[in-house]
Amino acid sequence: MKAKVTNVFEYIELHPKWKEHLSLICEQIKKHPFEEHIKWGAPCFTYNGTNLVGLAGFKNHCAIWFHKGSLLSDPKDFLGNA
């Protein structure tokens, strides 16, 4: 059974393989006035109660996703749709 985490720091500490990556992503996110939460067992950042960004560490990769990603400008077609 996985440990239940209560904050983003705890989550990152439980994923040592991806600690550096997740920490760098969080550093960038924390430059903005977002609120940190743990939702669905992983970090989720919100603004005015709206989910914006989530991230997670998995066995073979870590991931970041944008809850409203289809609304982002992507002129270089960098973002992929899951």
pTM listed for this prediction: 0.84
Give per-residue pLDDT as tens, 5-38. Answer: 999 999 999 999 999 999 999 999 999 999 999 9
Q: Are 3 and 14 in contact (CB under 8 A)?
A: yes
For 8-71, give the CATH class: alpha beta
pLDDT for the residue 71? 76
Residues 6+ positions from 33 with CB-CB distance below 8 Å = 47
pLDDT at position 1 is 46
User: What does the pLDDT read at residue 9?
Assistant: 96
What is the per-residue pLDDT across 37-79, written as a single tens digit (0 to 9) for each? 999 999 999 999 999 999 999 999 999 999 877 777 888 887 7
How far is 14 from 8, CA to CA, in rounded Å? Answer: 10
